[in-house]
Amino acid sequence: MKPRGKWQGMWTIARFNWPFYVAAVVFLIAASWGVFWFNALLGVVLCGFIIVGCLYFLIGSLGVSHQVYDRSDLYRWTWLERALHGASCDTTIFCHSGFDDASPHLREQLSVKKWVILDHYDATRMSEPSIRRARKLFPPTAETQQASYDQWPINGNTADLVFGFLAIHELRSEAERSAWFTEANRCLKTGGRVVLVEHTRDFENFLAFGPGFLHFHSVASWRRCWEQAGFNSIDEFHVTPWVRVFVISKS
């Protein structure tokens, strides 16, 4: 399998969200020109604010993306030992929402007898242009099964492990996320685990992504969803300041 490139994660984010970055560059150039064109102090100050804002967005979001997806342990999988801690992964379900660049690499890390990939993408619910671009650039693999977030083609009490990797936040309402956890609970054996990896709506992600952090969900919201589905939290930790791993268990 081809290894990940040194800048792959950052460039992937840039490609999926290119209109925002192009707009930032255009505003940056226009504001830089405006500093020399305006005679009034107010105009110069306004252009200065625009320049600072554009640079903050470009350097901050792309810099953090590079740190998270290219330089951290996230895709090196060293954190798996803590997340699994001896748990069985004979039958593992990997869930995504239209974009999957992780499952081939993750599968290499696990001793899996049965590997199932479920794609919860729904064009009517997940209408963000970035998701459509991601799906077009990286179509699902041949082994991927299309499955509604609340109805999986899996028999009950048969799975050992469910992975949600940087994808389940695309279910925008708590009702949808609770339904996803409920279906995971149905499919898992007693003692089975869900490993959920997500950005969260917190101060660190606000500093990195500005208003974009609202696309993520708070820790309290995630907790309400899995507790409603009957799960118990057994561990929670960070992989970088911007990404959390939640490990929850079926009682």
pLDDT tens-place string over residues 48-57 = 999 998 998 8
Domain assignment present for 199 = yes
Same-domain status, 61 and 84: no
For residue range 10-64, list pLDDT tens digits in order. Answer: 998 888 888 889 999 999 999 998 888 877 778 788 989 999 989 988 988 899 9
Predicted confidence band of residue 123 (pLDDT cuts 50, 70, 90): confident
Same-domain status, 38 and 96: no
At 216, which CATH number? 3.40.50.150
Same-domain status, 66 and 143: no
Identify any residues that bridge with 96 across adjacent strands, giving them in sequence order. 119
231-238 sheet: strands from edge to edge:
145-146, 114-119, 91-96, 159-165, 188-198, 244-250, 231-238
Which of 7, 211, 191 lies closest to 86 in space, CA to CA?
191
Boundaries of domain holding 61: 8-71
For residue range 155-205, list pLDDT tens digits in order. Answer: 999 999 999 999 999 999 999 999 999 999 999 999 999 999 999 999 999
CA distance 103 to 144: 10
CA distance 51 to 39: 17
Q: What is the structure's pLDDT at 128?
A: 79
The total number of structural domains in the chain stands at: 2
Residue 2: pLDDT above 80? no
Give the largest CA-CA distance in the chain.
72
Q: What is the structure's pLDDT at 225?
A: 97
Q: What is the structure's pLDDT at 1?
A: 60
Same-domain status, 53 and 94: no
pTM of the complete model? 0.90
